[in-house]
Structure 1
Amino acid sequence: MTKTNAGHFFEDYQVGMEIVHATPRTVTAGDRALYGSLYPNRFALHSSNLFAQACGLPESPMDDLLSFHVVFGKTVPDISLNAVANLGYAEGRFLRPVYAGETLRSVSQVIGLKENSNGKTGIVWVRTTGLDGQGDPVLEYCRWVMVRKRDTGAAAPETVVPELAAKVEARDLKVPEGLNFSNYDKDLAGSTHMWEDYAPGEVIDHVDGVTLEEAEHMMATRLWQNTAKVHFDATLREDGKRLIYGGHIISLARALSFNGLGNAQMIAGINAGAHANPAHSGMTVFAWSEILAAEETSRPDVGALRVRMVASSERGMAGKLRDDSGRYLPSVLLDLDLWLLVPRST
């Protein structure tokens, strides 16, 4: 009798199935320090207790993506251990900041299934919620994953494709309780550009680049307790290369976006996202953003920007996303549609 976990295969899932993921994880100041050493993150709200307190928060919260990665990592052994690819995201909302000392865990519900025509794989849609130690939600998102079948002869389940919103409505974004940008210090934040300074259609080249290192991406993936084999075991891929965890690319792009979006202090939502092409050690990651919309929130001092954040393996590709046939360019690594909270001039 085997005692090891081979993970779920496509035929193991049922629509409505709820999965309580192991292992709860308490985040600490050490996580913040290691996150900062892996990514060139300079957003003041996540760097300074004093700056955060001046903005109405009790202390500097964990980086929003640090919380996302911890919650996401919990789901990997149950959702994507046998995945071919993580295909997309939708309906993501960051419901409140997470602080050092809090414990996070994850639960997921299967909301859709569709076997692929090759009979070897299928698409699994899940809605995941990250919970704190009291069981209250801190973030939620949907994602869909292509998962291998254990038995290609197994009967296909009934196809259920969920209807997911094309975007999170601005009115449904959660502005953290207490957050107050009315006395915002632009000098300490490192940027003079406020919510009013951005216009839909504007494209921002974030200029800087970071070359991917093998050890760093594996360290990051272990930090989130993400057990996906393709990130560690080079023998599992025909090209003999470890696949860089997509969350590593997301965090790099977000950190690089400081140069041009330095006052976009918090992520409030994920509207959509795709890991367009694989990334490997030795590639250099650049980033650019397009402003899709600027919306008011429930607070007069806090505005929301809807931003397309793109990571590319080539410099100088700002505004270039797809070829003439509509396919992603080979250099595009990430296409992520976000809501960001930015101070307004009052």
Structure 2
Amino acid sequence: MSVKAVEIETVAIVASLVQVAQDVVELTLVPADGAQLPPWEPGAHLDVVLGDGLVRQYSLCGSPSVRDSYTVAVLRAPDSRGGSEAVHRLAEGQRVTIRGPRNHFGLEDSARYVFIAGGIGITPIIPMIEQADASGADWILHYGGRTSGSMAYRERLAAHGDRVRCVPGDERGRIDLEAALDVETADTLVYCCGPESLLAAVEERCAGWPAGSLHLERFSPREHELDGEDSAFEVVLEQSGMTLTVEPGVTVFDTMRAAGVAVLGSCLEGVCGTCEQGVLAGEVDHRDSVLDDDERAANDCMMVCVSRARSPRLVLDA
């Protein structure tokens, strides 16, 4: 059995739904059995199972010290594939299944932080700034949105005074990244979440920063330049005692599932990190949107829903 074949799954009740901005609803979820929920840290997200095959990931934006409920906030997206619409149709008292939490966007210790959020990307940042504030770190948040009314949690953030710089697009344009990132780079970490255009601009601006300074979380897969056509390769599953051939056009995830290996998956787009497997040997062709450059270079894990092999053979800890 894969080491990633089991994950905490909880039946939760929608305790409340509150509109916290235009087209943004906040859900408070409590366990149906009244038990304490698994602990989490800033940057973590949940899977919310919405029925009809819909599973979506939403960042936790409450307080990690609260163990009897989880809080997420969801934007009704105009180009939604059905997930955000399904959340906005939920009613108080309704039951949903949740999985996790899991975290590929954890807040590392630092003396200084620059937080940058665009739109609903504010959700994972909120518990981060509260932890940074509690630790006594120096930090600032640059928060952009289409309009003031579309920017969730502005009142909550106002308690932090001028450490929070709100930039409604219809009033002030876009976040001035050159000014926002014109800071001492030593011992400063940058955390950014939002639309791809914002993430790409921040990546470009931080290209010369020390390795490990920039941390991003994406809502959708990043574009990848492929070296050529996919070719078949061999995958050895160390724990399962199996050797499988991954054919062109078929994912490692689907190949494992077809062979009867229990492996977790959720987004199947390389965004959520659910399907991560340890790599014992071989070279990975990373195509995910989770790992940073250093983590990819380490070559000790892969997201099997999208990534492939650069070598003829991979050995997985599965």
TM-score range, shorter chain: under 0.3
Q: TM-score, normalised by structure 2?
A: 0.24
Structure showing greater relative contact order (alpha-carbon pairs closer than 8 Å, 6 or more residues apart): 1
Q: TM-score, normalised by structure 1?
A: 0.23
